[in-house]
Amino acid sequence: MKLTLKIWRQDGPTAEGRFETYDMPAVVPDMSFLEMIDVLNERLISEESEPIAFDHDCREGICGSCSMMINGIPHGPERGTATCQLHMRKFKDGEHITVEPWRARSFPIIKDLAVDRSPLDRIIEAGGYISAPTGAARDANEILIPKEAADAAMDAAACIGCGACVAACPNGAAQLFTAAKYGHLSLLPQGQPERWTRAIGMVDEMERWFGSCTNFGECETACPKEISIDFIALLNRDYIKAQFKNRRLSGQKS
Amino acid sequence: MTKVENAQRYVGAPQPAPAKKDGPFFVMFWRSAVGKKWIMAVTGIMLIGFVFAHMLGNLKIFLSADAIDHYAEWLRTIGYPILPKTGVLWILRAGLLGAVVLHIWAAASLTRMNRAARPNGYKSPREYVAADFAARTMRWTGIILTLFIIFHLLDLTWGQTGVKDFKSGDVYNNIVNSFTRVPVAIAYIVANIAIGIHLYHGAWSMFQSLGINSPRFNPWRRGFAIGLASIIAIGNISIPLLVVTKVVK
Ligand code: FES
């Protein structure tokens, strides 16, 4: 396959960036998008120019490191896959592909396509945990969980924290990320003790860094794990409820 | 758990906005974007309720001049004699004004927040997959509606736009005399198309903002929004359309 790549190059967080064009005369259709950039980088190194900086780790869609805006869509046009799982056979021979980093105030560019996504960790710190007893491990089936609830929590837990939702959102909101992380803990019995502090803590922290959700739904289509905006409704509902909760009564069952 | 503050690690590292200051619960609520969206949904419901009732009332124009004039007179006397005349009307007006102010205020403040969240936009064209025309133009349809409301009040409440023989309370003739002016009829029709577009997104989006979401009725939310938006738009447009085409005179 012959492809033409237009890739964002930026030397550092405060440097001016620019697009640079690279001809790729021999792309193997079975390469992943990242492997194609590896090939390009090897060529750049042999030409003694700077290789393109980009984040990657697992290359199997589970770590959330890879982050590229491909032809105006986070992780490219293929639904439900991360950039590392996107194969070149999904593109047409002779196609021009534009690659940009995620863009958001709180995702500054470190270099080229690599951005700093640490604000997502700040949101986790603000409530994305449970308190668990230490000591001997408890029996795995000690707490019964309805099947639907377990499935829903698992759907939310599929979030790999790549930040595609922020990148896709016209408002630069991290609502889907926060909602997924919130949902996967708060839908389960183990997540109940901190449920209300979690809702307030995570939302308030999120709003210090990111925009607000206006229900465009772009995030859900960009998400490599196809996490539903249903979780955003859950987060909104629990945030509102949490405002009115008397937490001293939250140990009572009903 | 101690919180790791985001130390300055490199030039250009992201810094958060300051944490919310403490205050009474409703102020704290207002200071959060999720709270503002909730308020936008609730005020939106109030405004939808008003627009719907307003449309139903105005459709009386197709019954007879007396029907709509009587209805207008009845609006002034609801609750009389326990309350003074127009008492209920003024309570409703105050509620509406409050809802409009909060709705616009929240929208403006969220817009500012969202612009600040991506000061440096994408340099190549974005490809939107889910964000439809209605969702992306909420701000613009909102602005059109605000301007339209002002014009509509000047036109048919205060009679300041040169309606022939304008007389407060003479509802039927005022409407007919206003809408026979072609540019005015067009303005009303355009504004009501804008209402339809605004509601197509708004009447769906409010469910998400309020956290009303369940697999059982989720498929109905979009249908509800489409139905509501088209009933209101078609009902309202029918009046200027049938007046300007001289079906109603
Ligand atoms: S590299 Fe791990 S998800 Fe793509």
Q: How confident is the model over A97-120, as a mean pLDDT? A: 96
Q: Flag whether B177 is in a domain.
A: yes
CATH code of B106's domain: 1.20.1300.10
How would residue B9 be classed by pLDDT, with cut points 50, 70 and 90?
low
Q: What is the CATH number of domain A3-114?
A: 3.10.20.30
Q: Flag whether B183 is in a domain.
A: yes
What's the pLDDT score for residue A250?
Answer: 86
pLDDT for B194-218, tens place per residue? 999 999 999 999 999 999 999 999 9
| Helix, strand, coil percentages, rounded to 5, for chain B | 70, 0, 30
Q: How many domains, chain B?
A: 1
Q: List the structure tokens of A102.
A: 């995620």
Query: What is the rounded distance in angstroms from the CA atom of residue A97 to the CA atom of residue A143?
Result: 50
Q: Flag whether B22 is in a domain.
A: no
Q: How many CB atoms lie within 10 A of CB B91?
A: 13
Q: Flag whether B6 is in a domain.
A: no
Which residues in chain B are closer than 8 Å to A129, comparing Cβ atoms?
1
Q: Flag whether B7 is in a domain.
A: no
Ligand 1 site, residue A65, Cβ cutoff 6 A: yes
Q: Which fold has domain A118-249?
A: Fumarate Reductase Iron-sulfur Protein; Chain B, domain 2 (1.10.1060)
The DSSP 8-state label assigned to residue B80 in this structure reads T
Q: List the structure tokens of A244.
A: 């009115």
Q: How confident is the model over A16-30, as a mean pLDDT? A: 96
pLDDT for B96-116, tens place per residue? 999 999 999 999 999 999 999
Q: Flag whether B55 is in a domain.
A: yes
* Strand ranges in A112-179 using DSSP code E only, listed in sequence order: 114-115
Q: How confident is the model over B222-230, as a mean pLDDT? A: 97
Q: Which of A100, A208, A220 sits opposite B124 (nearest CB)?
A: A100
pLDDT for A175-204, tens place per residue? 999 999 999 999 999 999 999 999 999 999
pLDDT for A80-89, tens place per residue? 999 999 999 9
Q: How confident is the model over B121-145, as a mean pLDDT? A: 94
Which residues in chain B are closer than 8 Å to A214, comparing Cβ atoms?
37, 110, 114, 135, 138, 205
B88 touches chain A (CB under 8 A): no
Query: What is the rounded distance in angstroms from the CA atom of residue B42 to the CA atom of residue B40?
Result: 6
Q: Flag whether B75 is in a domain.
A: yes
pLDDT for A194-242, tens place per residue? 999 999 999 999 999 999 999 999 999 999 999 999 999 999 999 999 9
Of A32, A35, A56, the residue with max ligand 1 atoms within 8 A of its CB, to mutate for a pocket test, comes to: A56
Query: What is the rounded distance in angstroms from the CA atom of residue A7 to the CA atom of residue B148?
Result: 46
Domain span including residue B190: 36-118+130-244
pLDDT for A114-153, tens place per residue? 999 999 999 999 999 998 888 888 887 888 999 999 999 9
Q: How confident is the model over A12-37, as a mean pLDDT? A: 95
Q: Flag whether B18 is in a domain.
A: no
What's the pLDDT score for residue A146?
Answer: 95
What's the pLDDT score for residue B248?
Answer: 86
Q: Return the domain boundaries, chain A.
A: 3-114, 118-249
